Structure 1
Amino acid sequence: MKAVVKRSAEHLTTRALRNEIVSGKLGPMSRLREIELSEKLQVSRATIRAALHQLTAEGLIVQVPYTGWTVMTLTARDAWELYTLRASLEGLAAKLAAAELTDEDRLQLEAAFARLAKAAKARAPQDVAEADFAFHNAIISAAKHRRLSQQYRFVEQQVRLSIISSNALLSDIRSIIPQHEPILEAILSGKPSKAASVAEAHNQSEGMKLVEHLEEIARESRKKESQKPPKPVKKSTASTKRGQ
């Protein structure tokens, strides 16, 4: 019999909103209005507000003065910061995991990779994203480095967003299998330096692709803005009367 785990309304509300964001149902720049969310989720505005503050701390939404809450838009700079940070943290984690791998760690990593491969072969993008995230988390856990794990947890929801964004660029989702297999093999073979190198290279390669993609989107957006005709300047009523 499984133990009953009680969850607070705040925890459940935060999880529900987080899932809406990382799944893409609430896209970038989506407005999050307290009253609407309160009615939709059937919880108090105080609970909604607490959940929004938590998601802000996780980097998934931003609070704009005089406007309210909006879902974060991943910029090229955000992607660069995330992949360089991930390369360092996951490179170290892979190195530590390979150095002191236990039988339990091996089973956890193999199971996580098997789940990822199964989702990729089924061509199920959402399942792939979750399995991808779980695989990298398994490496962090296998490192057995408490402070490293704490730092990773601080940005893990942003990592989920970057994983989803990166995977969306793949022409064939099944290519994610050979991307991750060398990392698994290096860790399981007990080669710390190689594991670190392969993990870092993976993050850098996929991260740069996402950065370049987001930079291209930003360039196209600026180009469209520059091609718009200038808005006519409205004369104030006072100026019009003085002219008369």
Structure 2
Amino acid sequence: MAAKIISGLVEKRSLDRAAADVIRQAITSGALAPGKRLTETELSTELNLSRSTIRAALQRLMSEGLVKQKPYLGWEVASLSSKDAWELCTLRSSLESLAAQLAAANPNRRQPIEAAFEDLKAAAKSRNQKRITDSDLALHKAIVVLSGHKRLADHYGLVEQQVRMYMASSNAILERPEMVISNHRKMISALLRGDAAASERYAREHNKTSGELLVRHIQEKEAKQTKKAASRKL
């Protein structure tokens, strides 16, 4: 009896995770846009799963920061506010600058960093925004892994999907896709030559520059939305 109960729980948990994977992919690919309303009934029908399984999947995605639950309104795909962007920028700066500093001392750093940077170059050349974001995140994750700092990597994993959303928004407002390469070049050069202090400094500068640009962009959008809402009340 106990074995059957455990087996049932494992199967249900697997379905929760599978449903979360499908919805997560739809969000990170842009198929489900920020602000899009999500209903348990529609998702249940589309994925042929129970509403309780869908609810558990959405709760998992909420813990990752990809969806939000609004009282009386239900679920929706999360969108970045200027405050969200600022928090992610400052958090990334702390985690990634430490990771870069530590990774610079890793004797096995060259091949993974060069491979990840070449992949980012190819992605920028393709001008495919999803591919650029995937490669950008992969590069930073490679640096985190090379840091050899397990707790840092664990914390980065907790916000990984939010960082992906942040990167997608940040890269989308660049004047040219190729700018993503120049934005990383100083940090990559410092890492490859093993300069820990410069790696830390350039990682912090990279986050500061891109973060300020994104926060300002979102603030301008928020100001327009506030002005538009105010004009409707007149």
Q: So what's the TM-score if we normalise by structure 2?
A: 0.91
Letter of the aligned partner of 1:102 in structure 2? P
Displacement, 1:229? Answer: 4.3
Match for residue 143 of structure 1? Answer: 147
Letter of the aligned partner of 1:207 in structure 2? G
User: What do residues 17-62 of structure 1 show as CA deviations (whole Å, max 9, x unaligned)?
Assistant: 1111122221222111111101111222222111101001001111
Match for residue 112 of structure 2? Answer: 108
Runs of 5+ in structure 1 lacking a partner? 1-5, 231-244
- SS of equivalent to 1:102: coil
Q: Which runs of 4+ in 1 moved over 6 A?
A: none
Displacement, 1:225? Answer: 1.4
Answering whether residue 184 of structure 2 is matched by residue 180 of structure 1, we say yes
User: What do residues 150-208 of structure 1 show as CA deviations (whole Å, max 9, x unaligned)?
Assistant: 11111111100010000111111011111112211111111111000000100010000
Match for residue 233 of structure 1? Answer: none
Match for residue 53 of structure 1? Answer: 59
Distance (whole Å) between structure 1 residues aligned to residue 233 and residue 80 of structure 2: 28
Alignment coverage as a number of residue pairs:
223
Match for residue 11 of structure 1? Answer: 17
- SS of equivalent to 1:51: helix
Letter of the aligned partner of 1:15 in structure 2? D
Residues 59, 229 of structure 1: CA spacing in aligned structure 2 closer, same or farther, 3 A cutoff?
Answer: closer
User: What do residues 198-227 of structure 1 show as CA deviations (whole Å, max 9, x unaligned)?
Assistant: 001000100000000000001111111121
Distance (whole Å) between structure 2 residues aligned to residue 66 and residue 124 of structure 1: 37
> Percentage identity across aligned positions?
43
Q: So what's the TM-score if we normalise by structure 1?
A: 0.88
Answering whether residue 135 of structure 2 is matched by residue 131 of structure 1, we say yes
Distance (whole Å) between structure 2 residues aligned to residue 102 and residue 191 of structure 1: 12
Distance (whole Å) between structure 1 residues aligned to residue 231 and residue 222 of structure 2: 14
- SS of equivalent to 1:228: helix
Runs of 5+ in structure 2 lacking a partner? 1-10
Residues 155-234 of structure 1 mapped to structure 2, 5 A cutoff: 155-230=159-234
Letter of the aligned partner of 2:61 in structure 1? L
Letter of the aligned partner of 1:211 in structure 2? V
Displacement, 1:102? Answer: 2.8
